[in-house]
A and B are shown apart, each in its own frame.
Chain A
Amino acid sequence: MMFRRVAMTDLVAYGLILVFTAISFVPLMALVFFIIAKGLPRLDLDFLFSISPSLESGGILAPLFGTLVLTVIALVIAVPISLLAAIYLSEYARKDRWFHLIELTIVNLAGVPSVVYGLFGLGLFVIFFGFGKSIIAGALTMACMSLPLLITVFYQSLRAVPMTLREASLALGASRLATTFRVVLPTALSGIFTGVILATARIAGETAPVLFTVAAYYMPNLPESLSDQAMLLSYHLYAISTQNTGVSDEQKYAVTLVLVGLVLGINLLAIAARAKAKNKISSLV
């Protein structure tokens, strides 16, 4: 009797856990397949690589290009700065009150809503620096937004480098800086790479920070300078799915597919890179 009852409640618990887990994951997979099925028919080279004379006619080269340029510039700004910040935290900072303040700040920065970053970018870059709504303003905003993610991942990969390697280098008469750049960074490289890819995916998919800083509803040509506005893939999807533009559903799904494919593809790359980084580090200890 006892045994049966215990087994029954256990079984019910297992069942519930399983059901809720399934609800968490199955829709995601269904969704990806659905988007692929709906978007693929419209997808061809012409759709991807032509500039549309109007919103309805398809041809997403302009938003694709805009997203690419914005992402690259944001990374060029954010990656070196974040790396230096992570180096400070991992290799130089004493673990004192200030360190914890910085740590807490980074956690908080990571939690600041992206639309607030948008307001910040509008206030600082667009208005105060007078960049206007432009690629440079958008990229700087995105760079600020990706700092906490980048610093965190970089910091973790630097910390994962075994202490014994630093000791060996220092004991050979290398300075702290030389140790950092010649031993620690090369060893942490794949982890650092992972962080960069993760940030790439994040920047490419974000919309709210670019609303007020760079995004153009429609442009018949590619941007020519950093002070131009640009169309962006994520904002483009927002525009065509909320405004009554007469854009066909097929085309919307195709844009969604491109955006999802881009972001998920980059993410899978990051996951693969991280697996490699883990292997490398575990072979060291």
Chain B
Amino acid sequence: MTMEDSTNPQPILQVRDLNLFYGEKQVLKKISMEITPHSITAIIGPSGCGKSTLLRCFNRMNDLIENCRVEGSIIFGGKTEINDRKLDVTELRRRIGMVFQRPNPFPKSIYDNIAYGIRVAGKVSKSELDARVEEALRKVGLWEEVSDRLEDSGMALSGGQAQRLCIARTIATRPDIILMDEPTSALDPISTQTIEELILELRENYTVVIVTHNMQQAARISDFTAFLYQGELVEHSPTKIMFTRPAEKRTEDYITGRFG
């Protein structure tokens, strides 16, 4: 299902008329958008506008919320309907991983944190497991820092390290898409910079969708930006265009800081 056609790639996610309700309250309104493979898409918008909710639609994390109802369609890789009730969500989430706002390593060793996703997917040999753990840690630049203490608890890492551990944990399951929900908002500026550089590197192998309420961050790292306002997708365009010549008045107001 990986996209080989690089000239005019088929979108990896196609969202059509997505509505989402928490009980009676409609939180996402008729959202339609496409995500280009091997790109970084930033979702911006004021707090409470539905960014996290939209992101969690892509890997069905909203299933955990009892009174949540979803309408519309999200096609993954051109053929898989994500909102299909019969879909194996565990398989889906292995293909579309997620990194959360606060680093949330398991109270397990660093090694077991990374190995977790691989192990739950099925049996693998010890040597392959070792190799994949090392590969994941190298990709996030954590290998040098922790290779001699893989048995230490993942909880003992600093905030920035812990978040990189969480990214490595996601990478280790070899997803196609990585969703990130404000991954740096709980971190200091230096850790934030490290993570941003990491995200830029990830573009080579993965598709990244990142929620941020930091517009500079969106401008710095994303190829495309989607502006969400009160549950509606106001504008979705290449980041350069969005931040220089926004098509919509509301977008301009938001990015120039007139509200939000």
Indicate if A23 sits at the interface (CB-CB under 8 A).
Answer: no
Residues of B within 8 A of A256 (CB): none
Q: Please, what's the 1-or-0 string for A91-127, where 1 marks a CB less than 8 Å from any CB in chain B?
A: 0001100000000000000000000000000000000
Q: Which residues of A163-209 have CB atoms within 8 Å of chain B's CB atoms?
A: 164-175, 178, 182-183, 186-187
| CB nearest to B95 among chain A residues | A173
Asked if A171 and B64 sit within 8 Å, CB to CB, the answer is no
Asked if B66 and A178 sit within 8 Å, CB to CB, the answer is no
Asked if B94 and A173 sit within 8 Å, CB to CB, the answer is yes
A96–B120 CA distance with the chains assembled, in angstroms = 30
Q: Which residues of A118-169 have CB atoms within 8 Å of chain B's CB atoms?
A: 162, 164-169
Interface contacts (Cβ under 8 Å), in number, total: 71
| CB nearest to B170 among chain A residues | A172
Taking a contact as CB atoms closer than 8 A, the residue among A170, A172, A175, A187 that contacts B173 in the complex is: A172
A186–B107 CA distance with the chains assembled, in angstroms = 9
Indicate if B124 sits at the interface (CB-CB under 8 A).
Answer: no
Indicate if A29 sits at the interface (CB-CB under 8 A).
Answer: no
Indicate if A279 sits at the interface (CB-CB under 8 A).
Answer: no
Q: Please, what's the 1-or-0 string for B83-103, where 1 marks a CB less than 8 Å from any CB in chain A?
A: 000000011111001101010
Asked if B93 and A173 sit within 8 Å, CB to CB, the answer is yes
Whether A165 contacts B59 in the complex (CB less than 8 A), given A172-B120, A173-B94, A283-B155, comes out as no
Asked if B93 and A172 sit within 8 Å, CB to CB, the answer is yes
Indicate if A284 sits at the interface (CB-CB under 8 A).
Answer: yes
A95–B64 CA distance with the chains assembled, in angstroms = 12
Whether A169 contacts B106 in the complex (CB less than 8 A), given A174-B90, A175-B90, comes out as yes
Asked if B98 and A171 sit within 8 Å, CB to CB, the answer is yes
Residues of A within 8 A of B91 (CB): 173
Give the total of B residues in contact with A, Cβ under 8 Å: 27
Asked if A95 and B90 sit within 8 Å, CB to CB, the answer is no
Least Cβ–Cβ distance between B56 and chain A, in angstroms? 9
A169–B117 CA distance with the chains assembled, in angstroms = 8
| CB nearest to A94 among chain B residues | B66
Q: Which residues of B56-99 have CB atoms within 8 Å of chain A's CB atoms?
A: 59, 61, 64, 66, 90-94, 97-98
Asked if A173 and B104 sit within 8 Å, CB to CB, the answer is no
- Interface magnitude class on chain A: 20 to 34
Residues of A within 8 A of B61 (CB): 167, 170-171
Asked if A170 and B106 sit within 8 Å, CB to CB, the answer is no
Asked if B117 and A173 sit within 8 Å, CB to CB, the answer is yes
Whether A164 contacts B102 in the complex (CB less than 8 A), given A171-B97, A173-B120, A174-B117, comes out as yes
Q: Which residues of A21-79 have CB atoms within 8 Å of chain B's CB atoms?
A: none
A186–B108 CA distance with the chains assembled, in angstroms = 9
Least Cβ–Cβ distance between B115 and chain A, in angstroms? 11
| CB nearest to A162 among chain B residues | B104
| CB nearest to B120 among chain A residues | A174
Residues of B within 8 A of A284 (CB): 107, 155
Give the interface centre of B91, B100, B104 by most chain A CB atoms within 10 Å.
B104
A174–B93 CA distance with the chains assembled, in angstroms = 8
Whether A165 contacts B102 in the complex (CB less than 8 A), given A172-B97, A174-B120, comes out as no
Residues of B within 8 A of A164 (CB): 100, 102, 104
A211–B173 CA distance with the chains assembled, in angstroms = 58
Asked if A167 and B93 sit within 8 Å, CB to CB, the answer is no
Indicate if B51 sits at the interface (CB-CB under 8 A).
Answer: no
Asked if B155 and A95 sit within 8 Å, CB to CB, the answer is no
Residues of B within 8 A of A165 (CB): 104, 106-107
Least Cβ–Cβ distance between A192 and chain B, in angstroms? 15
Residues of A within 8 A of B106 (CB): 165, 168-169, 183, 187
| CB nearest to A283 among chain B residues | B155
Taking a contact as CB atoms closer than 8 A, the residue among B93, B102, B105, B155 that contacts A171 in the complex is: B93
Indicate if B200 sits at the interface (CB-CB under 8 A).
Answer: no
Which B residues have a C-beta under 8 Å from some C-beta of A?
Answer: 59, 61, 64, 66, 90-94, 97-98, 100, 102, 104-108, 116-117, 120-121, 155, 166, 169-170, 173
**Can you list 13 residue pairs at the A/B interface with Cβ under 8 Å?**
A164-B100, A165-B104, A171-B59, A171-B97, A171-B98, A171-B100, A172-B173, A173-B90, A173-B93, A173-B120, A174-B90, A174-B116, A284-B155
Closest 10 CB pairs of A and B: A173-B94, A172-B117, A171-B98, A164-B104, A174-B120, A173-B93, A168-B104, A173-B90, A178-B120, A175-B90
